[in-house]
Structure 1
Amino acid sequence: MYGIVNKAIEDLIITNYGREKWTAIHKRSGIEPDFFISNEAYDDAITFKLASAVSEEINIPLSEVLHAFGEWWVLKTTKEKYGGLMESGGTNLKEFLINLPLFHNRVILIYPKLTPPEFKVEELSDNCLLLHYISKREGLQDFVRGLIQGLGKLFNTETTIELIQSREKGDAFEIFKISW
């Protein structure tokens, strides 16, 4: 993952728990870099070590860490760093989700070494759709759930998210049913 992801985790912790807690988390993670360069690619293991260290240091389940980070990513990181890109995705939650399969095509222009997930959308009704999340990375379904929740908040739309298919249950990819 790119350094911006790890920097966002750092920002989330410092903002909510303070620099001392971040220092403890960084030390607990055992990772080498003292700081992250936003546009440099880092091994995914670093990000997972950071998330695990957050879970251990703050004493909350890893699933909650990933969910909170997904929301933070949408509401803070992308809003501040990629506002124009986010605005081009749509003017409401449904539009944004429908355009999501094309979103990473634009992100790759910024981060050429990115290995993005693939999203497919099935409309079920005017206020409900299925979002297929296909990725080589495993263990991020709670992060994606947080992203979706963050998008709902970004568009002031109360959302219900149900995981109806999961790799944890032997399926090939995740499917989220999103209603608003």
Structure 2
Amino acid sequence: MYGMVNKAVEDMVCTQFGESVWEDIKSCAGVDIDVFMSNEAYPDEMTFQLVSAASEVLKIPAEAVLEAFGEHWVLHTAQKGYGGLMQANGSTLPEFLANLPGFHSRVQMLFPKLQPPGFECTDVMENSLKLHYRTHRAGLVHFVIGLMQGLGKLFNTPVTVHLVESKEQGADHDVFDVKWSNDAIE
């Protein structure tokens, strides 16, 4: 994964828990890098080690770390890194989700070595859709749930996300049931 992913994990931890906790997490993960370079590729295993160590140090499930990271990614990292692309992808949650399949193609122009996941929306209704998620990386279901929750917050739209088909349970890919309300969050 690109260094910007690890930098975002660091930013989330430092913002919410402080730099000393981040140093504890890096130590627990066996990561001795002082500064992650945004455009440099790092082994996926390093990111997963950081998530596992964050779970251990913070004493919360890894799934909760991934969901919090997904929200942080949308509300902070993506806004800073891809602000224009985020805005161009849609002005409402349903519009953004409808355009999500092409989003990573545009991001890939910025990061040519990116191995992005694939997203596809089906069964689109006024307040729901099925989000199909295809990736070569295992273990990111809760990150996607966090991304959807972050998008709900970004667009001031209450959203619920449930995994309805799981690659880990034998499905071809992961499928999420995404529902939203047209009532804005106050």
Q: Normalised by the shorter chain, which TM-score bucket?
A: over 0.9
TM-score scaled by length of structure 2: 0.95
User: 1:32, CA displacement in angstroms?
Assistant: 3.5
* Residue in structure 2 matched with residue 163 of structure 1 by the alignment: 163
List per-residue Cα deviations over 1:8-29 (Å, max 9, x = no partner): 0000000000011011111110
* Residue in structure 2 matched with residue 127 of structure 1 by the alignment: 127
List per-residue Cα deviations over 1:21-55 (Å, max 9, x = no partner): 01111111002322200010111001000000000
* Residue in structure 1 matched with residue 141 of structure 2 by the alignment: 141
* Residue in structure 2 matched with residue 114 of structure 1 by the alignment: 114
Number of paired residues?
180
CA RMSD, aligned part only? 0.8
* Residue in structure 2 matched with residue 10 of structure 1 by the alignment: 10
Identity percentage over the alignment? Answer: 51
Separation in structure 2 between the aligned mates of residue 11 and residue 42 of structure 1, nearest angstrom: 17
* Residue in structure 2 matched with residue 99 of structure 1 by the alignment: 99
List per-residue Cα deviations over 1:54-93 (Å, max 9, x = no partner): 0000000000000000000000111122111100110100
User: 1:162, CA displacement in angstroms?
Assistant: 1.3
Contact 2:26 2:32 in 1 (8 A): no
* Residue in structure 1 matched with residue 37 of structure 2 by the alignment: 37
Query: Unmatched 5+ residue regions in structure 2?
Result: 181-186
Provide runs of 4+ in structure 1 moved above 6 Å. none
SS in 2 for 1:178: strand
TM-score scaled by length of structure 1: 0.98
Q: Which shifted more, 117-126 or 55-64?
A: 117-126
User: 1:171, CA displacement in angstroms?
Assistant: 1.0
Separation in structure 2 between the aligned mates of residue 89 and residue 123 of structure 1, nearest angstrom: 20
Separation in structure 2 between the aligned mates of residue 81 and residue 167 of structure 1, nearest angstrom: 30
